[in-house]
Amino acid sequence: MKVAIKVIKTETPYKVLDISGAPGDALSNHKVNEGALLLMRAGSIIYKENDKMKTLSAGDSYDIPANVFHNVTCTTKAKFFIIMTDQTKMKFKKDEG
């Protein structure tokens, strides 16, 4: 299953994505054209970019680099924010098979 994504609009040049999911839910391979910040609110996820895997839990943060494909899988019921500029775009990797 896919995670739930809700865009939170603010009065600043930033947008916040409020993302939540159940164990096994995922955000498939994608990249952003500008760096972003992931802030864990609850639960835990596995963040994977290239050959690196990192477990993130409530209270953790991670700087997501620009133009690097990555994905996220919830290992428990999880909630996290992604903070990015209003101009940041997400591009999903097409399935190769």
- pLDDT of residue 1 exceeding 80, the answer is no
Q: Is residue 74 one of the residues assigned to a domain? A: yes
HSE value, Cβ hemisphere, 13 Å, CA-based, for 83: 12
The structure's pTM equals 0.89
Instruction: Round to whole Å and give the CA distance between 17 and 47.
Output: 16
What's the pLDDT tens digit per position in 16-64? 999 999 999 999 999 999 999 999 999 999 999 988 999 999 999 999 9
Residue at 76 is within a domain: yes
Lookup result for tokens 């910040």: 37
Q: Could you read off the pLDDT of 75-86 as tens digits, one per residue?
A: 999 999 999 998
* Structural domain span for residue 17: 4-87
CB 75, CB 23: distance < 8 Å: yes
CA distance 32 to 40: 18
Structurally, how many domains does the chain consist of? 1
Q: Does 69 map to a domain?
A: yes
In the block, which residue shows the tokens 């943060």? 61
Is residue 10 in a domain?
A: yes
